[in-house]
């Protein structure tokens, strides 16, 4: 299996960056989560 992605110190700039890091979807409270990634406000960004 592939290694887990390294946690992001800052929120991902956009969903393309989160996907490239293998971290999408990003959940509220996870490293790399930012409200700008969660368009519908359900706590899951880049779904």
DSSP conformation letters of 1-47: -PPPPPPPSS--SSHHHHHHTT--SEETTSTT--GGG-TT-SSEE--
pLDDT of residue 47: 95
Assess if residue 34 is contained within a domain: yes
pTM here is 0.77
In angstroms, the Cα distances linking 31 to 10, 44 are: 7, 12
In a domain, 10, yes or no: no
pLDDT in tens, the chain (47 residues): 777 666 667 999 999 999 999 999 999 999 999 999 999 999 999 99
Full residue range of the structural domain in which residue 22 is found:
15-45
Count of domains in the chain? 1
Q: What pLDDT does residue 25 have?
A: 97
Tell me, yes or no, whether 32 lies in a domain. yes
């Amino acid at each position: 299996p592939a290694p887990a992605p390294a946690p992001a110190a800052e929120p991902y700039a956009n969903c393309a960056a989160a996907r490239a890091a293998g971290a999408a979807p990003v959940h509220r409270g996870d490293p790399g989560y930012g409200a700008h990634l969660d368009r519908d406000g359900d706590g899951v960004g880049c779904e």
